[in-house]
Amino acid sequence: MSDIPNRKPETGAFFARDRAWHPPAYAPGYKTSVLRSPQRALLSLDGTISEITGPVFGHSIIGELDNDLIHNFARPGESAIGERIIVHGRVLDERRRPVAGALVEFWQANAGGRYRHKKETYLAAIDPNFGGCGRCITDEYGQYSFRTIRPGAYPWPNGVNDWRPAHIHFSIFGHGFAQRLITQMYFEGDPMIWKCPIVGTIPDKAAIEQLIAPLDWGNTIPMDARAYKFDIVLRGRRSTLFENRLEGN
């Protein structure tokens, strides 16, 4: 844990979450949600210090290969098999301000759609040089980037013939525990996106589009790796203008 340099600490409460934009808890097209969704209403609470604070991680936790999934599990001199890509973007808040010092963690299947996990039984092969996890911390402009292998589509036992689109899971820490977010990134042009029951838990097409990373030709490195851009938006904070006049307003 460490301070974020050169930034005034922020102490405002967060904008209320638009829960019509996020997927609802109960989304029966995604079968597991049926028994794992609360039935009672959430109890609403404007953020207290317990929610507007959160852990912040120093760059010291980041190892040299943490943002290189092509090599961070590979044997010396070898690399993971598949389409080499760079994924990069910015972490912003709803007020368009960069979120510096945000921890971004990500995980994914290999090029064949196989996860390295003991509960996973898909018959596609494990890549001995691919682990599937990585992390980075955003810089002062909110930027992050990593190199990886484009993941494959993946079949799963939901409907008889359901397949996940190629996707990368993201976990993001902003500066407050109430900003905590886990989501998934999809790839421009993938026809599987619009067939997926997990994508389909999101009611608004515009919200789904926010999870689709466009191919970023400008940042593609010739003879090396293509690039995709994925910006992430966390909850904005209220201005602290009035926070010191609790009795007055």
Partner 1 sequence: MQEFGYLKETPSQTAGPYVHIGLTPNFCDIGGVYAEDLGSAMVNDRTLGERITVTGHVYDGTGALVRDAVVEIWQADSAGLYNSPSEMRGTADPNFTGWGRCPTSAEDGAYVFETVKPGRVPFKDGSMMAPHISFWIVARGINIGLHTRMYFPEEADANNADPLLSRIEHRERTATMIASRDDTTYTFDIRLQGEQETVFLDI
- Please state whether beta strands 181-187 and 167-173 pair in parallel, antiparallel, or not at all (unpaired): antiparallel
Smallest distance, partner 1 to C-beta of residue 71, A: 10
Catalytic-labelled residue, pool 114, 167, 175, 237 = 167
Report d(CA 79, CA 237) in Å as an integer: 42
Question: Has 169 been annotated as catalytic?
Answer: yes
Catalytic-labelled residue, pool 88, 135, 150, 154 = 154
CB-based contacts of 24, cutoff 8 Å, min separation 6:
37, 201, 203
* Per-residue mark of binding to partner 1, 220-249 (x: CB under 8 A): ------------xxxxx---------x---
Report d(CA 242, CA 249) in Å as an integer: 8
3-state secondary structure of 182: strand
Stretch of 9-17, 79-87, 142-150, 213-221 contacting partner 1, by CB under 8 A: 9-17
The yes or no reply on residue 36 touching partner 1 (CB under 8 A) is yes
Cα 148 to its chain centre, rounded Å, is 15
Report d(CA 238, CA 235) in Å as an integer: 10
Among 85, 87, 92, 137, binds partner 1 (CB under 8 A): 92
For partner 1, the binding residues in 42-81 under the rule CB under 8 A are: 42-57, 61, 63, 65-66, 72-73
Q: CB neighbours (10 Å) of residue 55?
A: 11
The yes or no reply on residue 117 touching partner 1 (CB under 8 A) is yes
Q: CB neighbours (10 Å) of residue 121?
A: 8
The yes or no reply on residue 21 touching partner 1 (CB under 8 A) is yes
Smallest distance, partner 1 to C-beta of residue 43, A: 5
Question: Has 147 been annotated as catalytic?
Answer: no
Question: Has 115 been annotated as catalytic?
Answer: yes
Tokens of 118: 């003991």
Among 129, 143, 145, 171, binds partner 1 (CB under 8 A): 171
How many residues make up the chain in this entry?
249
Which residues are marked as active site? Answer: 115, 154, 164, 167, 169
